[in-house]
Amino acid sequence: MNWLGSLQQLGRAVMLPTMVLPAAAILLSIGSLPWAVWGIPSVGDAANVAGQAIFSFIPYMFAIGVALGLTNQAGQAGLAAFTGMVIYDQVSSHAGRSLIEPTTLIGIMIGVIAGLAYNRFSSIKLPEALQFFGGSRFVLLFMGLFSALFSYIMIALAPYLQAGLNEITLLLGRMGGVGLFLYGFIHRILVAFGLHHLLNNIVWFQVGTYTTSTGNVVEGDLPRFFAGDPTAGSYMAGLYPIMMFALPAIAIAFVHEAREDLKPKVKKTFLIAALVSFLTGVTEQIEFSFLFVAPYLFIVHALLSGLSMWIAYALDIHHGFSFSAGAIDFVLNYHLSRHAWMLIPIGLVYGITYYILFRWAIRRYQLATPGREEISALNDWAGNIPYQAPLILQALGGKENIVRVEACITRLRLTVHNDRIIDSNALKALGSAGMIKLGGGNVQVVFGTYSELIREEIRKLMDKDLPQVLFCAPLQGRMIPLDEVPDKIFATKLVGEGVAFIPEKGELVSPVHATVVHIYPTMHAIGLRTREGLDILLHIGIDTSELDGYFTAVVNVDDVVEPGQLLIKFDLANIRKLATSTVTPMVITNPKRVKSWSFAPFKSVKKGQASVMSVVIFDEIDIEDRNAGGVK
């Protein structure tokens, strides 16, 4: 794994503990209500204590979360990190806590050490007499001993680390608005690589200190904001105009610039994306929609994001969030803010500016933004993710190509053996907003807020060996549902279940590994049988059985064919004139052999494109039970 891939993994791990912060914000917001006036002050006190408790133990959460993130959710690594934090806490308390302030940084360091220790020692073998301490148990032993040494060393080093953080705070303070501008600009650039969490962790959790009325010391812009520090919130306030107004305006511009035939689909997809950005501050689906087609626009977007941070600083606006700069956090945490109302007019100006800018750029440079070419929206089949996941896994090169699969809020983060065999076009057809290759086999695929669900389904597929058959597109054209075939026999699925295609070129290729079992005399249709026993019929056109001389088979019965191998050439121009339709069904004629079906979005496909259909077949035990009348 190269250094960029390592940073990607660390960035994802650092983000994991922050998922608990919305709970803290909700509790503190509840605690701010006038419970004393209502005669039940204990409710407000309990909510405030619960919310502050999360921030008090945030170093522990970072330690455990980072360890889990670096080890594919290994529980032993999380326990080892917790052990390390307990030892550090006790040793530092004994030495004098006032000397050792950077606790969030310490939590990350211990989490990294625990994660590396687990990856290195979890399979260690010791002499037989000591093997009880081998394997993953050795990680706990190692962390227990190492943390004591680490804590002792940190007694001497921590004050210098704290002094360094203080210098960073002072430097940023001297830079004023310029520092905020640079942060906003770099933050947006790093979003493209999924590394923004590393930068955020520094300013949100480590820069600046504040002593509460109870004597507790909190660090970082985000915890200080929720602790009541009136100077906190500078590194969050300027993000609200971008998340709540600018990016939704881009989505609306996409809708208005879409082709009329694609506008309904684009409208559904991007109005939802705009609402998600406005409410929650999750923006990648919109940003990745223009990152690759107009990277210079993304640079402009990054510069305007930096400007928003500077404007908020210049107007002395202080506002924060627990998750991201969406309307939910804006309202939830408004009681802690200062001058936050000004973010609304700023945001409106930003929204109008972005809308005009993007509509002009799309027209001026004829950008291939969503809606100006066909797109696939994951929203169209989100309820069928378990059935679509096999197609996504196939587009990623199959489970043999996957080394590691993780997910953050909006993207899959993968390590693969060979990133060259990933089918980016197939992923785009399956709803991906974009893909970034970081080198060393490290890849990110943006699927929006469904990424976690997709990750879980891919893991399930990798953990079990399903008897599954994946189908490529047998020709270039448009895939349609079988019930749209202009022939009742095919449309009512009397022949079998499957899909159909409207061809654009006169070449039919094999969709699977199979054996040719039948070629019709006029060569307008061909029968294949897969190694798993599926019988497949490919029928070129409707009412073409009498059209002799327009089809040429290039294979023979009993030939073994591979996906993408040419089967039949046909005269598409004359078939269009003479046949009822050129629609070409691809059906499985023994569908009782199939346990479940998955179909890719019905849209344009290329010859041999993987995968347009996936089926899971019954294994031999299933078949025996079905034949015996059993229920599976």
> What distance in Å separates the CA atoms of residue 198 and residue 8, rounded to the nearest whole number?
9
Strands 604-605, 477-481: pairing is antiparallel
Residue appearing with tokens 């997709």: 454
> What distance in Å separates the CA atoms of residue 479 and residue 626, rounded to the nearest whole number?
32
**Helix residue spans in 58-195 (DSSP H):** 58-70, 75-95, 103-121, 136-175, 177-191
Q: Which of 64, 74, 191, 408 is catalytic?
A: 408
Would you tell me the crossing angle of helices 385-395 and 451-463 to the nearest 10 degrees? 70
Chain centre to alpha carbon of residue 334: 29
Strands 566-570, 507-509: pairing is antiparallel
Residue appearing with tokens 């509509």: 359
What one-letter code names the amino acid at 502?
I
> What distance in Å separates the CA atoms of residue 128 and residue 133, rounded to the nearest whole number?
10
> What distance in Å separates the CA atoms of residue 188 and residue 303, rounded to the nearest whole number?
9
Sign of the torsion formed by the C-alpha atoms of 222, 224, 230 and 231: negative
Sign of the torsion formed by the C-alpha atoms of 235, 240, 246 and 248: positive
Determine whether 472 is an active site residue. Answer: no
**Cβ–Cβ under 8 Å, residues 117 and 142:** yes
**Cβ–Cβ under 8 Å, residues 358 and 428:** no
By C-alpha distance, which of 188, 435, 451 is closest to 325? 188
> What distance in Å separates the CA atoms of residue 164 and residue 170, rounded to the nearest whole number?
10
Residue appearing with tokens 């494109």: 609
Over the range 419-447, which residues count as b (16 or more CB within 10 Å of their CB) and which as e? beebbbebbbbbbbbbbbebebbbbbbbb
Active centre residues (catalytic): 408
